Amino acid sequence: MDSERDRELERRRQQVRAGGGEARQAKQRQQGKWTARQRLAALFDPDSFQELGMFVEHRSAEFGMADTEAPGDGVVTGFGQVDGRLVYAFAQDFTVLGGSLGEMHARKIHAIQDLALKSGAPIVAIADSGGARIQEGIDSLNGYGEIFRRNTMASGVIPQLSVVVGPSAGGAVYSPALTDFVLMAEGIGQMYITGPQVIKAVTGEDVTHEALGGAETHARKSGVAHLTFPDEPALFAGVKHLLSYLPSNNLASPPAAPAADPDPAAAAQLGNVVPDDPNKPYDVRQVILGLVDQGTFLEVQPGYAQNMVVGFGRLAGRVVAWCANQPRILAGCLDIDASDKLARFVRFADAFNLPLVTLVDTPGYLPGTAQEYGGIIRHGAKVLYAYSEASVAKISVVLRKAYGGAYLAMCSKSLGADLALALPTAEIAVMGPEGAANIIFRSEIERADDQDAMRKRLVAEYRNRFSSPYVAAARQFVDQVVTAEELRPVLISALWALGEKGEDRPAKKHGNIPL
Ligand code: HXC
């Protein structure tokens, strides 16, 4: 390191690493934000990050840009190791022209997207940007379009994660939206199509940046964010945790871990979680916690459409994609948002070789004009499509209620479940006993002197006859009835048995999922 050329290289490196300078970095810190390089350091294993395109410069001369220095053109790109595995990443640097996306900034991102796809490794996009670089006009827009196209080409081939830790406005939100997971930090990341000023001018509504597009909003109301965190250190730990469940690409297996027992308290309670009373609510996450290896359940979109629970969790070390109705919320009904949440998760799991275990306890679709006018037909169909299309190992377990169309939708044998299990508490029927008895025994009930007593008797008769797992088991729509305590070992051996499962689909350009 003592020749003049070496010293010049080091000077240039230092200049780029300084980004937009101390004052702008201090402003970033005051807002509770890390710089682009701190973020990459938090993501990658120590000393493993290799930066590419460090000396890229913009070539814009308009609006005073000829004299404007933009180190690295406002984005840091490269690859490195996360827990020893290859990962590509880019981090926009808000201290350089507000992390705005100009022609060369975009080209750096395209290059890293191309490398990630060619090498079959996940890509993490760290967004902190004022959007299209206004001085560069149409070149910026083209830069976005090329990112969107690459996001789409990589979809289903490599996992794509978006970390939103700053503004992400206008069309810029669509790259995160095209990726598999959006992770946000509270009070730091904001995503919206039109900002508060435009909204005020057009609709007269008053809304803050955070209320409009902050982490809480996207975690609970819009469903855009899959995971949210209180701050950046927690967020980057969360990114690494999520990556630990995902294979590097669609041809690879998810990373295995040593087998572990489930949480002892949850496992001991497993037999008591699902109540006999079909109308009593419970938290289906207690069932999942009693089944998975201790400490491995990562719920995805926990705040959105809470009547559906989806997430990753290990069984004897193997990653499983869990899907479950949540009887604690809306009695576990399927509605528009729950259908979208479930269908997207099932498709992700299928694309990336994650076996699906579906826990069923749903009385049906949520009734009402809001649901019908909102297109529950269209949205509900996504679930049928996603499960039918999925060729990974599919195991369903009916815990309690499984009625009608919702029974079919929740990974029934008819949709291609490889194995359908049921607890003794399962009630599998065309509809709930009350509704069924009221229809098929209407004249008997009307003729009775004591209609209420007659209705109760006939409902009980229907329940005894049809609302059990045994009618379905008699036709092998259920392969095995097991107790809650037997479930974990049965699931582990079933996943082992289905480990080499293969299932072909007819050749086609692509299907037409009802969107
Ligand atoms: C060029 C930009 C910029 C942009 C910010 N800067 N956004 N430069 N193009 N889009 C620069 C600022 O001039 C400033 O430069 C520095 O970044 C920091 O910006 P501040 O405004 O000081 O920061 P802050 O107060 O934190 O406000 C952040 C902000 C605001 C809310 C993001 O900067 C803003 O509203 N920017 C414009 C957003 C926008 O309209 N973008 C275009 C959207 S259209 P100095 O030199 O002073 O540090 C779009 C279309 C995409 O994105 C379509 C894709 C299909």
Do β-strands 480-481 and 427-429 pair in parallel, antiparallel, or remain unpaired?
A: unpaired
Q: Which residue type sits at 245?
A: Y
Do β-strands 85-92 and 356-362 pair in parallel, antiparallel, or remain unpaired?
A: unpaired
Domain that holds residue 460: 432-466
With respect to residue 18, please indicate whether it lies within any of the assigned structural domains. yes
With respect to residue 259, please indicate whether it lies within any of the assigned structural domains. no
pLDDT at 329 over 80: yes
With respect to residue 351, please indicate whether it lies within any of the assigned structural domains. yes
Instruction: Say if residue 224 is in the same domain as residue 298.
Output: no
**What is the CATH classification number for the domain harbouring 343?**
3.90.226.10
With respect to residue 512, please indicate whether it lies within any of the assigned structural domains. no
pLDDT at 1 over 80: no
Instruction: Say if residue 200 is in the same domain as residue 268.
Output: no
Instruction: Say if residue 311 is in the same domain as residue 401.
Output: yes
Tokens of 195: 């900002």
Query: Does the active-site annotation cover 171?
Result: yes
Kindly report the protein residue whose alpha carbon is nearest to atom 19 of ligand 1. Answer: 98
Instruction: Say if residue 439 is in the same domain as residue 393.
Output: no
Instruction: Say if residue 12 is in the same domain as residue 127.
Output: yes
Report percent pLDDT > 90 for the chain. Answer: 91
187: Cβ contacts below 8 Å, ≥ 6 apart: 32, 210, 214, 215
pLDDT at 427 over 90: yes
Q: CB count, 10 Å around CB of 1?
A: 6
Query: Does the active-site annotation cover 170?
Result: yes
Instruction: Tell which one of 60, 63, 128, 134 to mutate to probe ligand 1, the residue whose CB is within 8 A of the most ligand atoms.
Output: 134
Choose between 252 and 440: higher pLDDT.
252
**Which atom, in ligand 1's list, is nearest to the CA of 132?**
52
Instruction: Say if residue 220 is in the same domain as residue 303.
Output: no
With respect to residue 251, please indicate whether it lies within any of the assigned structural domains. no
Taking all residues of the chain, what is their mean pLDDT, rounded to a whole number?
Answer: 96
Residue from 137, 171, 195, 223 carrying the catalytic annotation: 171
Instruction: Say if residue 448 is in the same domain as residue 396.
Output: no
With respect to residue 502, please indicate whether it lies within any of the assigned structural domains. no
Tokens of 366: 């949520």
In total, how many domains does the chain have? 3
Among 125, 84, 130, 120, CA closest to 108: 125
C-alpha 231 – ligand 1 centre gap (Å): 23
Question: Which range, of 65-79, 147-161, 433-447, 488-502, averages the lowest pLDDT?
Answer: 433-447
With respect to residue 283, please indicate whether it lies within any of the assigned structural domains. yes
Instruction: Say if residue 456 is in the same domain as residue 395.
Output: no
DSSP state of 404: H
> Per residue in 171-200, pLDDT tens?
789 999 999 999 999 999 999 999 999 999
Choose between 467 and 387: higher pLDDT.
387
List the beta bridge partners of residue 88: 79, 123
With respect to residue 254, please indicate whether it lies within any of the assigned structural domains. no
Domain boundary among 213, 243, 273: 243
Query: Is residue 484 within 8 Å of residue 270, measured between CB atoms?
Result: yes
C-alpha 97 – ligand 1 centre gap (Å): 7
Q: Which residue type sits at 319?
A: V
User: Across the chain, which distance is largest between two alpha carbons, in Å?
Assistant: 106
> Per residue in 337-373, pLDDT tens?
999 999 999 999 999 999 999 999 999 999 999 999 9
Note the pLDDT of residue 256.
Answer: 93
Instruction: Say if residue 129 is in the same domain as residue 149.
Output: yes
Instruction: Tell which one of 97, 128, 212 to mutate to probe ligand 1, the residue whose CB is within 8 A of the most ligand atoms.
Output: 97
Kindly report the protein residue whose alpha carbon is nearest to atom 30 of ligand 1. Answer: 130
Q: Alpha carbon of 388 to those of 43, 217, 239, 342, 499: distances in Å?
A: 36, 32, 30, 13, 19
Question: Which range, of 61-65, 110-114, 248-252, 282-286, averages the lowest pLDDT?
Answer: 61-65
List the beta bridge partners of residue 125: 90, 162
> Per residue in 229-250, pLDDT tens?
999 999 999 999 999 999 999 9
Instruction: Say if residue 162 is in the same domain as residue 43.
Output: yes
Instruction: Say if residue 14 is in the same domain as residue 66.
Output: yes
Instruction: Say if residue 400 is in the same domain as residue 443.
Output: no
Note the pLDDT of residue 484.
Answer: 97
